[in-house]
Amino acid sequence: MKTALLLNIALALLMARLKQSIVAAAGVTFGIAMFIALISFMTGLNKMLDSLIINRTPHIRLYNAIAPSKTQPINRAAEFTGFRNFILSVKPKDEGKQIYNANSIIKTIRADERVVDVAPKTSTTVFFNSGTIQLSGVIDGVDVDLEQKLFNLNDNIIEGTISNLNTVSNSIIIGKGLADKLIVKIGDVIQVTTPDGDRAMLKIVGIVQFGIAEVDDVQSFTSIQTAQKLQGKPANYITDIQVKLKDIALAPAVAREYARLFDVSATDVQTANAQFETGTTVRNTIAYSVSVTLLIVAGFGIYNILNMLIYEKMDAIAILKATGFSGSDVKAIFIQLSMVLGVVGGIIGLILGYCLSVIISHIPFETSALPTIKTYPVNFGLIYYLIGISFALVTTYFAGLFPARKAAKIDPVAIIRGK
Number of domains comprising the chain:
2
316 with 403, same domain: the answer is: yes
Nearest to 360 by CA among 48, 32, 52, 44: 44
What is the rounded CA–CA span in Å between residue 152 and residue 58?
12
Average pLDDT over residues 237-261: 90
User: Are residue 264 and residue 333 in the same domain, yes or no?
Assistant: no
pLDDT digits (tens, 9 = 90+) for 67-111: 666 666 667 777 767 777 777 666 665 556 788 888 899 999 999
pLDDT at 149: 87
H or E element, residue 35: helix 18-53
Residue 62 and residue 40 in one domain: no
Predicted pLDDT of residue 275: 66
Same domain, 29 and 156: no
Helix (H, G, I), strand (E, B) or coil at 90: coil
Q: How confident is the model at residue 415 (pLDDT cuts 50, 70, 90)?
A: low
- Regarding whether 290 and 265 lie in a shared domain, the answer is no
How, if at all, do strands 189-193 and 115-130 pair? antiparallel
Are residue 162 and residue 176 in the same domain, yes or no?
yes
Is the full-model pTM beyond 0.95?
Answer: no
b/e string for 373-396 if b means 16 or more Cβ within 10 A? eeebbbbeeeebbebbbebbbebb
Measured CA distances, 109 to 77, 147, 317 (Å): 38, 17, 74
**Are residue 71 and residue 214 in the same domain, yes or no?**
yes
Mean pLDDT, residues 259-263: 90
pLDDT band at 358 (very low <50, low <70, confident <90, very high): very high
Does the pLDDT value for residue 207 go beyond 90? Answer: yes
Domain that holds residue 239: 58-82+94-270
